[in-house]
A and B are shown apart, each in its own frame.
Chain A
Amino acid sequence: MEDFFLRALGGGIGAALAAGPVGCFVVWRRMAYFGAALAHAVLLGIALGFLLDIEPILAVFAVCALLAGCLTLLERQRYLSVDALLGVLAHAFFAAGLAAVAFMERLRVDLIGYLFGDILAVSAADLWLIFLTAAVVVAVIAWQWRNLLSLAVDPDLAAVEGVPVERVRLLLLFLVAAVIAVGMKIVGMLLVVALVIVPAAAARRLAATPEGMAVAATAIGIVAVVAGLFGSLQWDVPAGPAIVLVASAIFAASLLVPVRGGRSRG
Chain B
Amino acid sequence: MISASSGDPLHAPPLVAARGVSLNFGRRTVLDRVDLVVHAGEIVTLVGLNGAGKSTLVRAILGIIRPDSGEVVRAPGLRIGYTPQHILRDPIMPMTVRRFLTLGAPASRQKLDAMLDEVGAGGVIDDPLADLSGGELQRVLLARAMLREPGLLVLDEPLAGVDLTSQSELYRLIATIRDRYGCGVLLVSHDLHLVMAATDTVVCLNGHVCCTGRPQAVLRDPGFISLYGPHLSDTLAVYRHLHDHRHDALGEPLTMEPGAPEEAAPPADRP
Contact = CB atoms under 8 A, between A and B. Distances in A.
A159 B154 CA distance: 13
Nearest to B156: A156
B87 A153 contact: yes
A78 interface: yes
A84 interface: no
A153 B130 CA distance: 12
Contacts of A260: 94
A258 interface: no
A213 interface: yes
Nearest to B132: A263
B234 interface: no
A159 B62 contact: yes
B26 interface: yes
A156 B82 contact: yes
A185 interface: no
A213 B94 contact: yes
Given A149-B103, A150-B103, A157 B94 contact: no
Interface string B204-223: 00000000000000000000
Contacts of A157: 82, 84, 87, 104
A154 interface: yes
A157 B145 CA distance: 9
Interface of A: 27-28, 30, 78, 146, 149-150, 152-154, 156-157, 159-161, 204, 207-213, 259-263, 265
Given A27-B92, A208-B128, 12 more contacts: A78-B26, A146-B103, A153-B88, A154-B88, A160-B63, A161-B82, A161-B104, A208-B96, A209-B99, A213-B93, A261-B126, A262-B131
Q: Which 8 A-B pairs have the closest CB atoms?
A: A160-B82, A263-B131, A207-B94, A159-B64, A28-B93, A263-B127, A261-B128, A209-B99
